[in-house]
């Protein structure tokens, strides 16, 4: 085997698997020797590698973000601007606008050809094995000189990018997160060439490369470490700079960086233009620049390449028909120490695949520079925001790009994949849930979806009402679980809810008080809501281009939202104010090409209102005559009059029950009346028709009550996703229930 560096590189690039790489390593005259390997960081740095992203897709995202950083730094330097200088752009969005001419960083207005042209600067390529592919991330960014590798591409905790305000990289360790997801030997090839124009005085124009691996462990090694290969003397392998034909579709890589990760683990190892593309759209909710995914492996019906835009741009460009009319919408709210944040909410039409834009564990996204840094699951939307019938079809985005640095680092993990559990993040979630729960448009749509999904069966409802009332008379403890404070009242009937269809103006023409009033009173210990009317469309305050803003003087607003021509503001009194103090409040609605609209009102502070407090663990007192019996919704395999089917819920015979919270006081309980457990029991029991009807009734009641009790208990346990756990628990409960029914029937006979 040749010792020529360029030949060695081409052998490694051509390797189909880590086994091929190992053969090259074992037989090469240089890198087969232990002395030609040096620790990556140090022999004690393994903790940094192993403490990175939990998800292999999140780890891969770090590589893509590094590539986008490299492109922006290159464009800055090519213009003669020091990236660390005060004249450089201050944000990533500003950099994209300045260097690429994209207004507001919004490339949704660009044509498909231009977007693909931009995307061809960053490639994600899959090749080799279908199950454990080799993944390549290649970019045409600034690149690194071989002599700088040890401070950049194979360094940990260095400061190379910390002084650059418009890049994402800060910690210089996120890129190491991919290595634990590579194959058995953790091989990663790193290749880079500094853009020739950016070379320092006296630097030779060279390609440099190295191979990273986990050090081969022996019986005496107590802990592993990572290392990379070097040429004699400790320098990087290198050869003269030139174009390399190593990209698909005849593309050459003239300079930049090329990283190949061998036998990478993916949770869904299908063609990357499908599942990986979908997952990356979540982790890169709004990337500063588009990215090109290329599938080199042969799959039937494969799409060879696909542009990654991020879910936000994807919805604006290609998926508008998937979104409910009037959405996306936004709420601007003070999220505790996170400060005033824009909360963008998208609701998808029914029929949109539940995994297309979100997942069970990823539905609320907290992003920085478009990259997801933490997420909350659908259970947050269902249980805390009380939007159980919308939870599967909602995407909520909270932009945390400009959160105070001290607050940010205290509450977000350096791995950029989750938040810490702190008093601050709990406050953020509490406020966020309340803002979602109280939004008029979301409440309207929640009620409509609920009524569309639930087919009422009065006979079943009356049957359960009667049983529950008899049980409650004997056991008041049960009433606490079910929230009963009086007689059971029926819920709303189908057809009562509607969602107002509203088409606003792109730019508002008026702003006025919804209700004329001489003064708005605010209790010192509470808040007041002020509503203004306008004709602006719902996205006027949140869209990237030609948007307006709300200016409130003095700034008393904890939150505000625009929905169907009404701006709703939550006004809170300032600290250290006093009763009786009054002053004018002025609200301005800015317009991009016209004068701002304004309206004024007098504000008066009044004595504190008495607040009802509850001891920890004490149940909330039910409102008189406001309780709705939790809905029993019977589900069958095949269509039945006034009932739901398996297909609607994606159920099979293994499913038993699920509980969906809806609104402040409603719980809907779905019961599988064609479950395998029930049918197996009935088939073996050989009962008469009246007995079978009796068994089904007992089964229905038992599953109904068990589901509600388990839902109540599981909802009180921090960190438990009852939406996933309860259905599993109920599979066991169904077996016990039927066994007890069998015993009771045997006793009767």
pLDDT of residue 476: 57
- Give 194-218 pLDDT, tens digit per residue: 999 999 999 999 999 999 999 887 6
Largest CA-CA distance found in the chain, in angstroms, rounded: 99
Q: How many residues does the chain have?
A: 749
Which DSSP letter does residue 147 get? G
DSSP bridge pairs for 683 = none
Residues of the chain with pLDDT under 70: 1-3, 42-52, 157-160, 169-174, 218-223, 454-500, 611-631, 642, 665, 719, 741-749
d(CA 499, CA 440): 10
Topology adopted by domain 511-606: Immunoglobulin-like (2.60.40)
Looking at the structure, give the CATH architecture of the domain made up of residues 319-450. Answer: 2-Layer Sandwich (3.30)
Given a contact cutoff of 8 angstroms between Cβ atoms, the answer to whether 177 and 58 are in contact is: yes
d(CA 496, CA 96): 49
pTM above the 0.95 mark? no
Q: Which two tokens stand for residue 742?
A: 């069998």
CA 25 to chain centre: 40
Pairwise CA distance, residues 602 & 585, whole Å: 6
| Inter-residue contact 643 to 715 (CB < 8 Å) | no
Contact 151, 232 (CB under 8 A): no
State the Cα torsion 50-53-59-62 to the nearest 10°. -110
H runs (alpha helix) in 686-721:
689-715
Alpha helix segments (H runs only) across 569-667: 646-649
C-alpha dihedral sign at 712, 715, 717, 721: positive
Centroid of chain to Cα 492: 33
Domain boundaries, the chain: 5-308, 319-450, 460-486+625-748, 511-606
Q: For residue 551, which of 510, 599, 584 has the smallest C-alpha distance? A: 599
Q: Would the CA dihedral through 77, 82, 85, 87 be positive or negative?
A: negative
- Give the bridge partners for 513, in sequence order: 532
Please tell me the distance from the alpha carbon of residue 316 to that of residue 111, in angstroms, as a whole number: 13
Closest CA to 655 of 639, 670, 638, 644: 670
> Residue 499 and residue 99: Cα distance in Å, rounded?
44
Residue 648: exposure state from Cβ atoms within 10 A (0-12, 13-18, ≥19): middle
Categorise residue 537: left if φ over 0, alpha if ψ from -120 to 50, beta otherwise.
beta
The DSSP string of 406-437 is: HHHHHHB-TTSS-B---HHHHHHHHHHHHHHH
Beta strands 631-636 and 666-672, pairing class: parallel
- pLDDT reported for residue 517: 81
**Sheet of strand 364-368: strand arrangement:** 371-376, 364-368, 394-399, 340-347, 329-334, 557-563, 566-571, 528-534, 511-513
What is the per-residue pLDDT for 518? 81
Cβ atoms < 10 Å from Cβ of 109: 13
What per-residue string of b and e applies to 343-380 under the rule 16 or more CB within 10 Å gives b? bbbbbbeeebeeebbbeeebbbbbbbbbbbbbbbbbbb
The pLDDT of residue 745 = 53
Distance CA 629, CA 632 (A): 9
Alpha helices in 288-439 (DSSP H): 311-317, 378-379, 405-411, 423-437
Q: Is the CA virtual torsion 464, 468, 471, 477 positive or negative? A: positive
Look at residues 634, 642, 652, 608 and name the one whose alpha carbon lies nearest to residue 696: 634
Q: Reduce the DSSP state of residue 105 to 3 states and report it.
A: helix
Contact 606, 521 (CB under 8 A): yes
pLDDT value, residue 243: 96
C-alpha–C-alpha distance, residues 627 and 624, integer Å: 7
501: Cα separation from own chain's centroid? 28
Helices (H), 189-239: none
Which pLDDT belongs to residue 616?
45
Residue 321 dihedral angles phi and psi, to the nearest 5°: -70, -10
Give first-to-last CA distance, the chain, whole Å: 85
Q: How far apart are CA 153 and CA 144, in angstroms?
A: 8
Would the CA dihedral through 336, 341, 342, 343 be positive or negative? negative
| Tokens 């659908």 sit on residue | 378
Alpha carbons 149 and 194: distance in angstroms, whole number: 11
Pairing outcome for strands 594-606 and 519-523: parallel
In order, the DSSP letters of 541-600 are TT-SSS---EEEES--EEEEEEETTEEEEEE-PPTT--TT-EEEEEEEEEETTEEEEEEE
> What does the alpha-carbon distance between residue 3 and residue 222 come to, in Å, rounded to a whole number?
33
Give the integer Cα–Cα distance in Å for 562 and 327.
11
In this structure, which topology does domain 5-308 adopt according to CATH?
Heat Shock Protein 90 (3.30.565)
- For 507-518, b/e burial (b = at least 16 CB within 10 A) is ebeebeeeeeee
Q: What distance lies between CA 696 and its chain's CA centroid?
A: 41
């Amino acid at each position: 085997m040749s010792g020529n560096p360029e030949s060695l590189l081409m052998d490694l690039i051509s390797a189909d698997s880590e086994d091929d790489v190992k053969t090259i390593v074992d037989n090469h005259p240089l890198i087969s020797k232990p002395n030609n390997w040096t620790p990556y960081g140090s022999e004690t740095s393994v903790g940094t590698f192993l403490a990175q992203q939990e998800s292999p897709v999140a780890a891969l995202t770090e590589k893509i973000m590094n590539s986008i950083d490299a492109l922006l730094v290159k464009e800055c330097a090519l213009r003669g601007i020091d990236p660390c200088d005060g004249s450089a752009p201050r944000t990533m969005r500003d950099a994209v606008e300045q260097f690429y001419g994209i207004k507001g960083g919004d490339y949704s207005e660009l044509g498909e050809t231009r977007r693909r042209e931009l995307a061809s600067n960053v490639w994600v390529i899959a090749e080799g094995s279908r199950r454990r592919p080799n993944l390549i991330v290649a970019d045409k960014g600034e690149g690194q000189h071989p002599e700088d590798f040890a401070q950049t591409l194979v360094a940990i905790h260095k400061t190379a990018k910390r002084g650059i305000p418009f890049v994402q990289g800060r910690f210089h360790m996120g890129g190491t997160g991919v290595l634990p997801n590579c194959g058995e030997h953790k091989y990663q090839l790193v290749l880079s060439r500094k853009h020739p124009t950016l070379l320092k005085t006296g630097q030779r124009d060279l390609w440099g490369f190295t191979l990273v691996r986990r050090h081969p462990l022996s019986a005496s090694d107590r802990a592993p470490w990572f290392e990379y290969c070097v040429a004699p003397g400790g320098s990087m392998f290198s050869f003269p700079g030139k174009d390399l034909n190593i990209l698909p579709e005849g593309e050459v890589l003239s300079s930049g960086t090329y990283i190949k990760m061998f036998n990478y683990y993916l949770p869904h190892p299908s063609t990357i233009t499908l599942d990986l593309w979908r997952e990356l759209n979540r982790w890169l909710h709004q990337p500063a620049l588009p990215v090109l995914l290329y599938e080199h492996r042969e799959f039937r019906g494969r799409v060879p390449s696909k542009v990654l835009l991020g879910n936000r741009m994807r919805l604006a460009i290609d998926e508008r028909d998937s979104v409910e009319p009037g959405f996306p919408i936004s709420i601007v709210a003070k999220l505790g120490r996170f400060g005033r944040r824009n909360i963008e909410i998208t609701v998808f039409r029914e029929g949109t695949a539940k995994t297309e834009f979100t997942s069970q564990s990823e539905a609320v996204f907290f992003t920085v520079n478009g990259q997801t840094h933490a997420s909350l699951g659908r259970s947050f939307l269902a249980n805390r925001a009380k939007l159980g019938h919308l939870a599967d079809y909602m995407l909520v985005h909270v932009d945390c790009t400009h959160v105070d640095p001290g607050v940010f680092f205290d509450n977000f993990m350096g791995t950029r994949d989750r938040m810490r559990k702190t008093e601050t993040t709990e406050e953020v979630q509490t406020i966020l849930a309340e803002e979602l729960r109280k939004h008029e448009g979301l409440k309207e749509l929640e009620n409509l979806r609920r009524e569309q999904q639930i087919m009422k069966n009065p006979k079943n409802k009356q049957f359960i009402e009667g049983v529950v009332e008899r049980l409650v008379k004997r056991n008041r403890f049960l009433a606490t679980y079910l929230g009963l404070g009086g007689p059971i009242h029926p819920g709303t009937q189908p057809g009562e809810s509607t969602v107002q269809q509203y088409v606003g103006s792109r730019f508002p023409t008026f702003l006025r008080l919804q209700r004329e009033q001489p003064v708005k009173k605010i209790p010192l210990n509470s808040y007041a809501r002020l509503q203004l009317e306008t004709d602006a469309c719902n996205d006027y305050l949140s869209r990237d281009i030609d948007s307006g803003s709300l200016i409130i003087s003095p700034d008393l607003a904890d939150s505000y939202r625009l929905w169907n021509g009404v701006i709703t503001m939550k006004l809170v009194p300032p600290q250290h104010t006093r009763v009786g103090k009054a002053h004018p409040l002025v609200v301005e609605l800015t317009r991009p090409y016209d004068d701002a609209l304004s309206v004024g009102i007098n504000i008066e502070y009044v004595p504190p209102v008495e607040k009802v407090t509850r001891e920890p663990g004490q149940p909330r007192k039910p409102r008189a005559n406001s309780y709705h019996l939790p809905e029993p919704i019977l589900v069958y395999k095949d269509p039945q009059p006034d009932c739901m089917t398996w297909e609607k819920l994606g159920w099979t015979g293994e499913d038993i029950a699920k509980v969906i919270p809806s609104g402040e006081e409603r719980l809907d309980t779905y019961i599988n009346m064609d479950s395998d457990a029930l049918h197996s029991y009935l088939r073996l029991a050989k009962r008469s028709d009246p007995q079978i009807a009796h068994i089904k009734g007992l089964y229905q009641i038992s599953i109904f009550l068990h589901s509600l009790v388990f839902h109540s208990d599981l909802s009180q346990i921090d960190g438990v996703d009852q939406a996933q756990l309860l259905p599993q628990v109920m599979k066991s409960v169904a077996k016990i229930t039927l066994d007890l029914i069998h015993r009771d029937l045997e006793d009767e006979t």
